[in-house]
Structure 1
Amino acid sequence: VDPDNSSCLVFLRQDAKAKQTCLVALNFSEESQSIVLNFEAKSAEVLFSTEDRSGEADVLPKLCLSPFEVLIAQLA
């Protein structure tokens, strides 16, 4: 998703059978990272994060990751 960012690995995981797409984002640095997501999705529900994101339903279109954060979100 963001090939120029050497501090983060961000990709989409698609399951055609279940018609589900998830965003997977990993911040490998000790600094916060902001990533602009340039793809079509109406919303993103956080399924898992190493940070407290309780009550946070939408992380689009700009994703802000804490240091060493891992995030998985289901796209709609």
Structure 2
Amino acid sequence: MILPLLILAIVVLMPVAPMVHAQTVVTTIPADFKPLGVGVNVLTNEIYVATTRNFEGNLDVINGTTNTITATISTGT
């Protein structure tokens, strides 16, 4: 019973997903070496980019309104 409902939900929501998640590139922001992952906080409009260089990690915090890096947090090794 759960599988048919899941399939129905996927089929019903598929046409809506592209409209809800429409995205465009506004600008590019140079990050540190080797970006590994990206996270977005839609409530604060901040973007988080995890990077690594020589086995040490950083987390760049980007202001989504001004498109500038506001902080770089060292995560260590």
Higher helix share: 2
More strand by share: 1
Scaled by the length of structure 1, the TM-score of the pair is 0.29
Higher relative contact order (CA 8 A, sep 6+): 1
Q: Larger C-alpha radius of gyration, 1 or 2?
A: 2
